[in-house]
């Protein structure tokens, strides 16, 4: 991963959250700080690229709204870009806030990018140690952006540089102050697709080998239809093709039974499973815009025995 690639991935994700916070109602996940971490020029540039790319996503929409770029941007963002990142973040953070009431003391965010949880919840500064794990280039980029908008890094936020393509190391977390004896909540969002099944199993096993009972993880994954399902306006197929074109091909999809077996081998029990229909009913029901749950994508909350 090159520094500019890391920055672009983080920016596009932040753009989706910022667009939702600015323009969409009702809110699924209101990341009101994300807009501060990208400049007006970057927001305008990403918007222009999304609008110019409409023919790739849907030629019918391109023709229908050829004189309405704002509607094209809304369509691309709400259909292709935002549904999964918004809903999985909303789900993960709702689980986390409940787990804190049950005694969680540490929060590990794997693939954190420009995550803003720490800054949106300053009231947790004396209750929760937060560990953001990501590529060193991504973390350097984030630190610069935080400094640019005068967000000092608080003492309970810890940056743990790590390249997942070279394996996961619990020891690197420990060196940054992580205590494997404390009850921990882990989010693994938008990562499993790009790892092999063996890499995912090794990652989860390494994470939970030393953690106490009651520690848990929320993650999203693609089911066995990933490479066959086209989805609404071909958005699933588009997602797979765009990942391949960017040099980060999607590698893994699972049946429910495969996922259950993998978790069981790491002494994890499935506490909650949200299917695409379950996600839609929980986060997207009765909307009047384009937002809807992405086909083939599931969420799990799994707890160590």
Q: Where do the structural domains in the chain lie, given as residue ranges?
A: 3-81, 88-304
Which fold does the domain 88-304 belong to in CATH? Rossmann fold (3.40.50)
Return the half-sphere exposure (C-beta side, CA atoms, 13 A cut-off) of residue 184: 24
Report the side by side order of strands in the sheet with 106-110: 157-161, 129-134, 106-110, 184-188, 216-222, 297-304, 268-274
* Rounded distance between C-alpha atoms, residue 111 and residue 92, angstroms: 14
Q: For the purposes of burial, counting CB atoms within 10 Å of the CB of 155, is it exposed (0-12), middle (13-18) or buried (19 or more)?
A: exposed
pLDDT in tens, 92-138: 999 999 999 999 999 999 999 999 999 999 999 999 999 999 999 99
Residue ranges in the chain modelled with pLDDT below 70:
1-7, 165
Work out the angle between the directed axes of helices 3-23 and 40-52 (0-180°, nearest 10). 90
pLDDT at 267: 97
Q: What is the pTM of this model?
A: 0.95
Residues 6+ apart with CB under 8 A from 262: 197, 200, 201, 204, 254
The backbone torsions φ and ψ at residue 274, rounded to the nearest 5 degrees and listed phi first, read -110, 115
DSSP string, 196-237: -HHHHHHHHHHHHSSSPTT-EEEEEEEBTTTTT---GGGHHH
Q: Is 7 helix (H, G, I), strand (E, B) or coil?
A: helix
Q: Which two tokens stand for residue 182?
A: 């404390």
């Amino acid at each position: 991963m090159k520094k500019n690639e890391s920055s672009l991935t983080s920016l596009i994700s932040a753009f989706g959250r910022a667009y939702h916070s600015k323009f969409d109602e009702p809110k699924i996940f209101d990341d009101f700080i994300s807009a501060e971490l990208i400049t007006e020029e970057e927001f305008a540039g990403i918007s222009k690229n999304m609008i110019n790319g409409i023919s790739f996503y849907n030629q019918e929409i391109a023709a229908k709204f050829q004189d309405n770029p704002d509607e094209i941007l809304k369509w691309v963002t709400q259909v292709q870009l935002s549904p999964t990142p918004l809903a999985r973040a909303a789900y993960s953070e709702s689980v986390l806030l409940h787990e804190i009431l049950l005694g969680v003391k540490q929060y590990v965010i794997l693939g954190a990018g420009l995550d803003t949880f720490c800054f949106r919840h300053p009231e947790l500064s004396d209750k929760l140690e937060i560990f953001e794990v990501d590529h060193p280039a991504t973390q350097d980029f984030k630190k610069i952006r935080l400094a640019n908008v005068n967000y000092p890094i608080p003492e309970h936020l810890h940056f743990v540089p790590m390249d997942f393509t070279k394996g996961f190391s619990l020891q690197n977390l420990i060196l940054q102050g992580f205590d494997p004896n404390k009850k921990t909540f882990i989010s693994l969002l938008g990562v499993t697709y790009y790892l092999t099944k063996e890499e995912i199993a090794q990652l989860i096993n390494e994470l939970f080998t030393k953690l106490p009972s009651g520690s848990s993880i929320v993650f999203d994954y693609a089911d066995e239809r990933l490479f066959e399902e086209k989805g609404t306006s071909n958005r699933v197929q588009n997602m797979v093709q765009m990942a391949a074109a960017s040099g980060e091909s999607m590698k893994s999809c699972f049946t429910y039974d495969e996922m259950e077996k993998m978790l069981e081998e790491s002494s994890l029990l499935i506490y909650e499973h949200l299917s695409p229909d379950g996600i839609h009913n929980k986060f997207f029901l009765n909307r009047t815009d384009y937002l809807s749950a992405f086909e083939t994508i599931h969420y799990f909350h799994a707890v160590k025995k």
